[in-house]
Amino acid sequence: MSALPDGYRILRPTLDDAEAVLDVVRAHDIATIGEPDITIEDILELMGKTGHSLDADEWLIADADGRYTAWGYVDDSYGGERLRIDVSVRPEEAGPVTTALVEVLLGRAAELAAAKDLDGIRVRASAPHGATGLREVYENAGFELDRYYGRMNYDLSGDERTPEPPEGVEVKVFTELPDRDEAARIHHRIMDSGFADLDDHVSVDFDSWWANTAASGNTPYDEWRVVFVEGEPAAVLQTANIGAADNGGWIRNLVVHPDYRGRGLAQLLLGTAFALFAEKGRTWVGLSVDTGNSTGAFKIYEKVGMRPKYMIDVLKAWVPVSSPAPGSAVS
């Protein structure tokens, strides 16, 4: 691991550190996107997420006075041959601190690759567009730009109403479907089919997906929807409680089965989401989307009035199992 400034230490976080982690991430957000974009509920969900553990996949860096200056983690939520790393650093601590933390995370990625009996593993990282320092650290570590994501936003007026489905189309509430297991499997099948033609899609089996979805214990299933066309499942809407503490609504996934694209189902579900969040008194709706998505999702979101709040550079790297292990770096 690259040297840290004198007196700095790399540590394992606990859930008791959540407020301190939030402070680090908010400082990072303010420096890179102009305002904080995360709540304590989001941090607790991330720290307890299936696919990484506090004891093996998360790190904090503390300065000589014990103040936390950086937080990072490896996310292997779905297993397979790809994972994600994420880093937040106080702006005044960029440079050696960021470099050291990224090296630790990549070492852990190599460990996970070895545990899967792989030669190496694909790793993704992201940096807000314009966060040139963070992106430079990633590039020096072997990452290259892969794509851009847009963090889209829609300001609710409070007057939004649920759109009327066209003839032969029904929008049903997930929690009101008679068979909860089958309802979940419908969501999984449509997601797998709808994302299959995207070049970065990694198929995940139902049990792994459902375990990861249910792990937060805070998923608003009453907001989830399934669209049926002539009785056949055709599209799904999945939300999350991200942003709820800031009076926002969050669309985690909106997917239309390839056989039913071009029928206005995405706009129908967007209108449905806007209305249900307005009814709950929320003031905005957000989502994240690949701007180059081959389904044209970015343009659909713009068409209904959503606008980019900020852009995110998504980077990729191949990490061989020979990368240094991070274990010795933890004090």
Whether pLDDT at 156 is above 80: yes
pLDDT of residue 326: 64
Domains of the chain: which residue ranges? 9-148+313-329, 157-282
Rounded Cα gap, residues 7 and 123, in angstroms: 30
CB 38 within 8 Å of CB 29: yes
For residue 269, CA distances in Å to 59, 223, 255 come to: 39, 11, 9
Judge if 9-148+313-329 and 157-282 fold alike in CATH terms: yes
pLDDT of residue 256: 97
The CATH number of the structural domain formed by 157-282 is 3.40.630.30
Give the tens place of pLDDT for each residue, 55-94. Answer: 899 999 999 999 999 999 999 876 778 899 999 999 988 8
pLDDT of residue 56: 92
Packing angle, helices 180-195 and 206-215, rounded to 10: 110
Q: Domain 9-148+313-329 - what CATH class?
A: alpha beta
pTM across the whole model: 0.85
Whether pLDDT at 314 is above 50: yes
Give the tens place of pLDDT for each residue, 169-192. Answer: 999 999 999 999 999 999 999 999
Q: Cite the DSSP H helix spans in the chain.
A: 18-33, 40-47, 96-115, 132-140, 180-195, 206-215, 265-279, 297-303
Residues written for the chain: 331
Q: In what order do the strands lie in the sheet with 225-229?
A: 9-11, 58-62, 68-75, 82-89, 120-128, 307-320, 144-155, 284-290, 248-256, 232-240, 225-229, 169-173
Give the tens place of pLDDT for each residue, 216-251. Answer: 667 899 999 999 999 999 999 999 988 888 899 999
